[in-house]
Structure 1
Amino acid sequence: MRTIVETNLTEWAVAHRRHLHAYPELSGEEYQTCAYIRGVLEELGIEILDFQPPNLVGYLKGTDGHKTIALRADIDALPIDEEGDKPYLSTVPGVAHVCGHDGHTAILLAVAKWMAENRDAVKANILFLFQSSEEMSPSGAKALVEQGAIESADAVFGLHLMSALPKGKLGYSHGAMLASSDDFRITIKGQGGHGSSPHETVDPTYIAGHLLIGLQSIVSRKINPVEPAVISVGQVTAGSNYNIIPNEAVITGTIRTFSEETRQYIFREMKKLVEGMCLTFGGAGEVDYILGTPPLINDKNLGLFAEKVIREVYGDEVATKVEPVMGAEDFAFYALSKPSAYLLVGMGGAKSAFPHHHPEFDIDEEEIGTAIDLFLNLVKRFA
């Protein structure tokens, strides 16, 4: 399926990917990873721009220079003990590249290598965004946007090697692709006492039970049924013993939406519900929101452009329109600031049989070349 990339460039990328895989670093701690990337880029003659680590931004001036294109790779790993017997298994206990970010980093390094060696063929200016902290807050994408890293960009492209998409397929979208991701913490304050005398208490666990049902009414009865939204409770904590009614209960969970309007509406309705229900039963309630990533909405025109490139270069049978899912991606911050398109490179099959974030997850390295080629074709045709 490759049209530009030769086998030796893919092998070069795979070698770098395996090194990165063996030495993973968590979100916000990717300083050695940045040093490694910097060394490769400097050897290639790519300029390093002055942005706060552990983000790293490379720059290559195009022959024309009327347009600037940003290409993004996330570089962080996950707090998971890797399992399996691969020769490049993580050497860091409790940390592993089990999402594919090592592959994304190697892909962008290979794109930089090709461009450095074929400068006359690169018309647009290129920003190489090696981004920290996709997996955890605070977001590395948000930091780069706030620092002005993509201020000059006419377009931002990102991609993800995806085990949920069949190998040989390339996924695109013209709009909503991934949801917002926000956390909430509800604190219910009551008045504890002996379990045999509930009438002498204000039982926060009883109030929590009502809230667990009531929270779902926001989605089922307050939001238009055609508007996707999720409120999921992940943890309920209260008490220290079976016969003691506690003073406090805590509910934590996540909210997912595809529009900023729905996102803000849920915040308001949740606050009203919690405060009102707690007051009804004689307690008090507080809601804290931990804002995460906004919805990832591909720019319509850039999404159509990406689809056209995929169909014309790789064929209609390869092009796959992907439906929105409730997962989240901080690439959304680029899309809020500049025309952006996030794409998927399918690798589902025997070589990538485990889901992302599984201890035995691994990427299909054959698709690294496909991803390099896709980036290069997008740049070539956009310029």
Structure 2
Amino acid sequence: MTETAASRRISIFDTTLRDGEQAPGNAMNPRQKLDIALRIEALGADFIEAGFPASSPSEFEATRLISRNLTSARFTTFCRAVRADVDTAVRAGGTDRHQVQIMATGSDMHLLHKRGISRQQAVDEVADTVAHAHALGVEAVSVGIEDASRGEDELLRGIALGAVEAGATCFVVADTSGCNLPQEYAALITRFRGWLPDAIRIATHCHNDFGLSLANAVAGIEAGADEVQATLGGIGERAGNTPLEELAALLTYKGEVLGMHTDIDVSAMYEAYTALRRVIGLEEPRNKAIFGTYAFGTAAGIHQQGMLLHPATYEYVEPARFGRERSLLIGRHSGRAVLRHILDELDITVSDTELTELYRTHIAERAGGDCEDISVLKDRLAGQLLGAALPAAA
């Protein structure tokens, strides 16, 4: 899809391998990170955050591998506002297609309780590190403002203006603690858009502590942000980050309403997510949007009746579009419609009395509480009814 006046292209920054990987239980070795990076690149991500090279030899090696193997996406390294971190990042990945992301301290709470430095020191260290990155030959330097959602405008504006003067090309406005409402986050992005030249990119980075990471990211891009930082499956610190698949799905279906689009290949996302789950040992959730086991499944009789007549009655998001399949599950809430559907497929005709008995024994009073796939019931009915007498009515 080409960008038009009515459709603004939103850049995608994937932080699965940094923010996602640093959360408990999500550790990956360098080769595993490379595999996931290549899968994310194939989806069409614009930037892939390789990790924090100065933090460990493993992160350094992962950055080295990713920087040498990506062919279309740019890679990003995470650095503190310390020259030595940038030196290490450049040694790991060089400068070609390399975006260095420098973390700024964005709130008085963090300055006082974590850093023990003044506002001016926070402004100065970021500007100095940005300038140092440019001196090393890095053209794209991003400033990620930690806890910006609880930051004071005087501090945030000072960081922004100082970093722009030093050569920063992008600002990441982080709702680090996931505390913002969408309207609060939108207002914050609006203020940053007013402080910064139009040529400077703004990215969202939203955490999901209130379940609002997607809503906040959308509010941010509606307010003028150009890019969304997201992760596959929404993995990340605490409750996670903006889920890439939910953002891509939303822009696929509501892009015209929002006047925005991305180039993410939504049909390949589930395969990439499945590979990620295997690597980090993540169980598939049952009810997660787009990627949940039963995101496109139902056991409710009323829903099944409608979907058998026309899937769109209850299925707004189409599973095939995302590499998924719809599933009809048989459980105690299923109705006679699904039973009639199976019998029609088997070319079996039964009386109303016989249908009632089949419904009672196979659905209403079925042993066990778990649902089963419709194909299992179909096989069982075929074995029972084809060439066999029907059960007697109760």
TM class by shorter chain equals under 0.3
**Structure 1 length-normalised TM:** 0.23
More helix by share: 2
Q: Which has the higher contact order (CA 8 A, sep 6+)?
A: 1
TM-score, structure 2 as length reference: 0.22
